[in-house]
Chain A
Amino acid sequence: MNAIIAKDLSKFFKPSKGKKKEKKSKQILEKENNLICAVDNISFNVKYGEIFGFLGPNGAGKTTTIRMLTGVLKPSNGSITIFGENVWKHPIRVKQIMGNVPEMANVYLDLTGIQNLNFIGEIYGIPKKERNDLAENLLKKFELFDRRYSKAKKYSKGMKQRLLLCMALMSSPKILFLDEPTSGLDVQSARIIKQLIREYNKTGMTIFMTTHDMDVANELCNRIAIINKGKIIGLDSPENLRNLKQEYQAIDLYLINDLNQKEIENLSTIKEVRKIQDHYHIIVHDINNGIFEIIEYLKSNHIKIKKINTYEPHLEDVFVKMVNGGG
């Protein structure tokens, strides 16, 4: 069951005269007809009720993709279906079931918090009484209720971002699009947003988010697509993506006695042993079995341990490796 089906999506831009210099550095792929390819023939599905992360460096095509999904930019090629409806054939129907928080978006600064929410509620055709209650509940949830009558221009960046999320949630959407939701926020606002993303997801809401923050992706997403130069170069759960890079599963062993390096290399779970200054860096196939095997070996050879550290692959290592072409 898929909430989003994106098939063979591409987006080309004509290089604009005034921005030629800027675009040249950003350009990903220049076709024969001088078009800049921001998104290059990508396909993916997002399942109902999952948090799907789109991870990539700046200029990778994340924002262009989310803009195509939300009906802001028309794809040059390919099709997008959201909850069974084609985004470009039935835009109003699709937009009725989605909430969107674009990157660097802004609230209406001269309106108060509650006026911003009421304005969006009016666009979605929510009756006045209902939208007032809805707005107040959202403001309470996002810890903005005390400032509901303050003009949004007096809000901090974190408060504005929370208000934007409230605006996206006013229509009780089935699917929520978040473009860099925690980018540049203070710890408290980021924490509130992450917690509420999890809460809303538990109620069955599908969430599609772009980020370049590995921790956010690792913490929140059920599945992650890594995009670079307009192409998806990896798509799986954070755990499976991490496991793609086995060389990052390692044990640092600090010993009192010396070790027979060749002997330990013969153990089944050991991949490679390197002596680095005062310790051994042991790369293993499987960290759990590896650590037991090493301890058994050390015990049987009466070698005493001073200190032991384990390293599991981090999403960031996988990301860097994939983006730099080692994927």
Chain B
Amino acid sequence: MLFLAFTVGRTILPIYIISGLMAMVLFLTSTSIGPVVFPWETRQKTLERLISCPISIKTILLGNVWSSFFFGCIFSTIPMVLGVFIFGLWSYINILIIIIGIIIAAFAYSSFSLILSVPPTDTPASTMILTILIKFPIVFMSPLFMPISSAPLALISPLTYFIDVINIGLGEVSAFGTWGLLIDFSILLIFGFGFLFISFTLHQKTLQKRFRG
């Protein structure tokens, strides 16, 4: 539906369709597990026993990142394979750039999803509301299905840099100049580790509130 909302009535280059779809799928899938796991485990009463096991909260959170990462990676390859096949872009594709891009971006978005599970609730629906309120504005400010230069707020969105990576991987020139690819990877890594650091800090603060009297 989101894809149709962005594309109906517009003439879009095939490369932008693939990069836009991949960015949307990767972002939405890799941020779909993280916000639900903690409230779900709190509600299922499995979290308390897990915390009393000899593993740190960081390990538990990294486990969440890993599952979101894995989920996102698998689903984002589907639009890539379909798009490249439909539009016949096999001769332009640089598979290595795309794979590295998917891995780094999936890590960044999965780390971001951990922040969404910070509120100490045991109701997954509560985090879903917050998730929608944050995720959708990010999607709408991103340069999906269009050149990066034509989206004014694009630079603050973590999706922009993944879109640029995919565009480069499909034979397009980077929107950020000669060092574009390096800039994209670096900024995605900064986003990833930044989100991870924020989520570790916030979860340490709110974890205790999940087990109050």
Taking Cβ atoms with an 8 Å cutoff, the residues of A that contact B are 13, 16, 23, 26, 36, 38, 59, 63-64, 67, 70-74, 91-93, 95-96, 98, 100-102, 104-109, 120, 123-124, 164, 167-168, 177
In the complex, A109→B45 CA distance in Å?
11
Looking at chain B's contact residues, is the secondary structure mostly helix, strand, loop, or mixed? loop
In the complex, A109→B51 CA distance in Å?
18
B209 neighbours in A (Cβ, 8 Å) = 16
Apart from A92-B55, A102-B49, A123-B54, what 16 extra A-B contacts exist at CB < 8 Å?
Answer: A13-B212, A26-B213, A36-B213, A59-B213, A63-B213, A67-B48, A73-B212, A95-B52, A100-B52, A101-B49, A102-B48, A105-B45, A105-B48, A105-B49, A106-B46, A164-B49
Asked whether any CB of chain A lies closer than 8 Å to the CB of B56, the reply is: yes
CB–CB A67/B46 < 8 A: no
A124 neighbours in B (Cβ, 8 Å) = 53-54
CB–CB A106/B211 < 8 A: no
CB–CB A71/B51 < 8 A: yes
Residue of A nearest to B48 (CB): A102
Taking Cβ atoms with an 8 Å cutoff, the residues of B that contact A are 44-46, 48-49, 51-56, 208-209, 211-213
Residue of A nearest to B209 (CB): A16
B49 neighbours in A (Cβ, 8 Å) = 100-102, 105, 164, 167-168
Q: How far is the CB of B213 from chain A (nearest CB, A)?
A: 5
Residue of B nearest to A101 (CB): B49
CB–CB B53/A123 < 8 A: yes
A72 neighbours in B (Cβ, 8 Å) = 48, 51-52, 211
In the complex, A48→B188 CA distance in Å?
53
A104 neighbours in B (Cβ, 8 Å) = 45
18 contacts between A and B (CB under 8 A): A13-B213, A23-B213, A38-B213, A63-B213, A72-B48, A72-B52, A72-B211, A73-B208, A92-B55, A98-B52, A100-B52, A105-B45, A106-B45, A108-B46, A120-B53, A123-B54, A123-B55, A177-B52
